[in-house]
Structure 1
Amino acid sequence: MTFRIRAARATDLQPLYEMAKLTGGGFTNLPPDRKSLTAKLDRAAQAFGNEADGDAKDLKDELFVLVLENSATGEVRGTSQIFTNVGRQWPFYSYRMATLTQHSKELNRTFRAEMLGLVTDLEGSSEVGGLFLHPSERAGGLGMLLARSRYLFVAMHRQRFGDKILAELRGVIDERGGSPFWDGVAGRFFGMSFQEADYFNAINGNQFIADLMPKHPVYIAMLPESARSAIGLPHPSGRAAMRMLEEEGFAYEGYIDIFDGGPTMTARTDRVRSIAEAREALVAHIRAPEGNGGVAKALVATGRLADYRCTFAEVAQGQDGLVLDPVAAAALGVSVGDTVWHVSR
């Protein structure tokens, strides 16, 4: 069974909607709402149809939606998203942890207070998000394929993306589907539950945060223990994703999601491993690679914008170009003489 990544199409609405219903909440980029998902697919179609890379100093706010497809049956079994330039359509808010140190000579004591400040530091960054893999397919490294195929897409369309890239991980959600962090912080100012706020944000954007969120720093010591203990922690289902991000060169630098307190991971775009190590090559042979240690497992991608495709492959570097296994070549739709991008698995 071979899977490939391809650009999402309008006809993918139903499988995306069915997967959105399985997310369990707190998944802003994949809301279980047909109207919102249709708007996402329409926005992605505009981005995939825009051939002009433009000036790197004037990045557009584009969204690319990718899907994981069983190349034999055509079934869609996963999805992920890439945002080129967050904060253009509406402000991109985060909390950032900071420490205020004060000293009292009379008491001869130094006090360090940890605080959360509302910031828009990450505006202008690119973002990878919206990754969801159908529960029945969570084996065989397909989550890795979904995640890392985005970095190959960035490498192949580098001018469309910013110098910094981020990934927001879903935070701790309790057994009721609520967020201890939301209940202890923002929920006190909005008069709505986490589920209501998260859904409203997914459908309407987060301008209501700018309207109602207190602008003064929040002292962490004044929060309930349930909220304090959730700060910067990923949802249990996101721990593997956090490790993958760290392996790519992302780091947690104190930025957290304003809704559920989950960690926001950041990296310099050109230092992300799968971007920095991606290489362009000519397909010289389509056959089973062989050799003394020269065969490598890789992610291989081809195609520009709406024609983008990516899959796992076995490759070898020959004197006249890349040797690519026939199954991967068929999934990608490439022939001898075509150009592909690849990075080691």
Structure 2
Amino acid sequence: MMIVRHAAHRDLDDIYRLAQRAGESGIGLTSLPQNKEILAARITRTTCTLEGLAEKADASYLFVLEDTTIQKIVGVSAIEVAVGLNEPFYNFRVATQVHASKALNVYKTLDTLFLSNDHTGCSELCTLFLDPEYRKNQNGKFLSKVRFLFIAAFRSFFEERLIAEMRGFSDENGHSPFWDSLGYHFFNMDFAAADYLSGVGQKVFIAELMPRFPVYVDLLSKEARAVIAEMHPHTLPAAKVLMSEGLKYQGYVDIFDAGPTLEAKTSDLRAVNESRLLKVKIVDQVETVNIQYLVANDQYKDYCVLLINNNVQEGDTLLMTAQQAQALNVSEQDQVRVLALEKMENN
């Protein structure tokens, strides 16, 4: 059985193994570094957040996907409650400047990149990685969409604006044409090194070295211009999942690889508007259908979610087997939160 729950310190070795697998996927997954101390600190932040001991700037939730049949962690995903409150959160805002002269009969619009802290205080979806061997049976969507269901259940803990940074384009050798054309000239380090330092929280150098004036896109190389707001091919499936839940690109890109930032108001998320609370009824057998549902117990500290294909009919009751109820730690008449994995056509 596959289940999503909060990460715990007993998961550290498995999460570290996933970080190593992520490293095999190439540059750009820096929110899951191959560093046990940093990963342990991520778990500690989750624990402190759940205990109410974390300040908003440090609050974070790290989820794990567990294959309970072999007690193995096979995926992770996370939510940062509010970014940029301890250290500045940077990206580029893609904007337009007009250069005009009536005397010369010249009127020209130019795309520009402005160093921005506009997403300060936003909640952020991050750290999504699934073991390649488990990229089947909708596990990826399950692991990603759990975060929306958690936000729907505990909206008061999150900000009204939600963002997700998408990995930008880099070639098979890990070279970013955007970085080569812009960032390298200010940092004098390769893309991998700069991206890693940012991912592990050493971002002060960004403020010290990045240009404070607008960057004219036309001055960049043709290759760099072509990848602004473009995603790495491996990231497209994850981005489509987020966009199906209500996020979209609104003109911000990463300062390293120019990958797009997706964003939405939490009030506009599908999970917020379409998830339902149903009462549990435990039965010996359930009728199954082709539609899959996320089912969460809505227990803040002991949060867990299943992906099931039980027949969910109109009304206020969800039929579940004893095994499913036990996995969710719920009993007869307890409430669970239910959301179709895919948006229903009639919604």
Q: Tell me the TM-score normalized by structure 1.
A: 0.92
The separation in 2 between residues aligned to 1:317 and 1:275, in whole angstroms, is 20
- Aligned residue identity for 1:87: G
The separation in 2 between residues aligned to 1:151 and 1:327, in whole angstroms, is 25
Q: State the match for 1:26 in structure 2.
A: 28
Q: Does the 8 A contact of 1:290 with 1:316 survive in 2?
A: no
Q: Does the 8 A contact of 1:298 with 1:315 survive in 2?
A: no
Q: Output aligned runs, 1:275-290, within 5 Å.
A: 275-290=272-287
- Aligned residue identity for 2:302: D
Of 139, 143, 146, the match for 1:146: 143
The separation in 2 between residues aligned to 1:43 and 1:336, in whole angstroms, is 33
- Note closer, same or farther for the CA distance 1:319–1:154 as it changes in structure 2 (3 Å cut): closer
Q: Output aligned runs, 1:63-82, within 5 Å.
A: 63-82=60-79
Q: Which moved more, 1:126-135 or 1:170-179?
A: 170-179
Q: Output aligned runs, 1:158-237, within 5 Å.
A: 158-237=155-234
The separation in 2 between residues aligned to 1:259 and 1:110, in whole angstroms, is 31
Q: Output aligned runs, 1:320-335, within 5 Å.
A: 321-335=317-331
Q: State the match for 1:298 in structure 2.
A: 293
Q: State the match for 1:46 in structure 2.
A: 48
Q: Does the 8 A contact of 1:60 with 1:160 survive in 2?
A: no
Q: Which moved more, 1:299-308 or 1:130-139?
A: 299-308
Deviations 1:236-276 (A, max 9, x none): 01111111111111110110111111110000011111222
- Aligned residue identity for 1:91: P
Q: State the match for 1:99 in structure 2.
A: 96
Q: State the match for 1:16 in structure 2.
A: 15
Q: Which moved more, 1:178-187 or 1:134-143?
A: 178-187
Q: CA deviation at 1:281?
A: 2.0
Q: SS at the partner of 2:143?
A: helix
Q: Does the 8 A contact of 1:252 with 1:266 survive in 2?
A: yes
Q: Does the 8 A contact of 1:289 with 1:316 survive in 2?
A: no
Q: Does the 8 A contact of 1:90 with 1:205 survive in 2?
A: no
- Name stretches of at least 5 consecutive residues in structure 1 with no aligned partner: 53-57
Q: State the match for 1:309 in structure 2.
A: 304
> Quick one: percent identity of the two aligned structures?
36
Are 2:252 and 1:250 equivalent residues in the alignment?
A: no
- Name stretches of at least 5 consecutive residues in structure 2 with no aligned partner: 342-347
- Aligned residue identity for 1:300: V
The separation in 2 between residues aligned to 1:143 and 1:195, in whole angstroms, is 26
The separation in 2 between residues aligned to 1:186 and 1:127, in whole angstroms, is 24
Are 2:261 and 1:259 equivalent residues in the alignment?
A: no
The separation in 1 between residues aligned to 2:116 and 2:201, in whole angstroms, is 20
Q: State the match for 2:336 in structure 1.
A: 340
- Aligned residue identity for 2:293: A
Q: Tell me the TM-score normalized by structure 2.
A: 0.91
Q: CA deviation at 1:326?
A: 4.7
Q: CA deviation at 1:22?
A: 2.0
The separation in 2 between residues aligned to 1:327 and 1:237, in whole angstroms, is 36
- Note closer, same or farther for the CA distance 1:324–1:317 as it changes in structure 2 (3 Å cut): farther
Q: SS at the partner of 2:64?
A: strand
The separation in 2 between residues aligned to 1:150 and 1:84, in whole angstroms, is 12
Q: SS at the partner of 2:137?
A: coil
Q: SS at the partner of 1:68?
A: strand
Q: CA deviation at 1:64?
A: 0.5
Deviations 1:62-98 (A, max 9, x none): 1110000012211100000101111111111110100
Q: SS at the partner of 2:312?
A: strand
Q: Does the 8 A contact of 1:59 with 1:162 survive in 2?
A: no
The separation in 2 between residues aligned to 1:205 and 1:328, in whole angstroms, is 43
Q: SS at the partner of 2:301?
A: helix
Q: Does the 8 A contact of 2:45 with 2:58 survive in 1?
A: no
The count of corresponding residues between Structure 1 and Structure 2 is 337
RMSD (Å), alpha carbons: 2.1
The separation in 2 between residues aligned to 1:206 and 1:123, in whole angstroms, is 14
Deviations 1:157-215 (A, max 9, x none): 11110001001111112222232211211221111111111111222431211121111
Deviations 1:21-56 (A, max 9, x none): 22222112111111211111111111122289xxxx
Q: SS at the partner of 1:261?
A: coil
- Note closer, same or farther for the CA distance 1:272–1:287 as it changes in structure 2 (3 Å cut): farther
Q: CA deviation at 1:303?
A: 4.1
Q: CA deviation at 1:226?
A: 1.9
- Aligned residue identity for 1:305: Y
Q: State the match for 1:55 in structure 2.
A: none
